[in-house]
Amino acid sequence: MTLSSTDFLAENNICGQALLSIVSQGNAIHAELGQLKDFVPLVFKKGTSEHVKFGGVLIDFEYFQSPDSFEATLEKNTSLRILDDQLKANFGSIINRFYLFLEAIHRYVVNLRTFLEDLESGVFVQQTMEMLMDHYEARQLMDHS
């Protein structure tokens, strides 16, 4: 069975609409990355005086090894709590934007994985990966996902 362009991209084609949605998510992530790269505050760039000032409250992945220890240190030290409050007040909105960006990447990966699993397991009746690769528009969308 050969899909025409209108068939694959039609609103009633669940497979085509799912793939279009995933590609749209990817494009939105790409656009947001282009914008966010210009908004990284100096406080998050190592070697800057701002980074040194807030170094005691800036965390990396080591935090996950002992979050309770980090929280206890923060709770005991008034100057660190003040710095933490300043960091949240001054950069909370951009931190939140980066968090939402990372969350969008995670959601994209989950959706893409689910789409591929659904395609493989036959959820999209009469459509297979081979059929998508034989179809120009579907192949273009797969290349962009």
**SS3 labels along 85-126:** HHHHHHHHHHHHHHHHHHHHHHHHHHHHHHHHHHHHHCCCCC
Which residue shows structure tokens 């362009």?
A: 5
pLDDT at 50: 92
The predicted model gives 73-94 an average pLDDT of 94
Question: How many CB atoms sit inside 10 A of residue 15's CB?
Answer: 21
Domain count, the chain: 1
pLDDT band at 17 (very low <50, low <70, confident <90, very high): very high
Domain that holds residue 28: 5-144
pLDDT at 114: 97
Q: Is pLDDT at 42 greater than 70 in this prediction?
A: yes
pLDDT at 144: 82
The predicted model gives 33-60 an average pLDDT of 92
Report how far residue 54's alpha carbon sits from residue 45's, in angstroms, rounded to the nearest whole number: 11
pLDDT at 2: 53
CB 132 within 8 A of CB 14: no
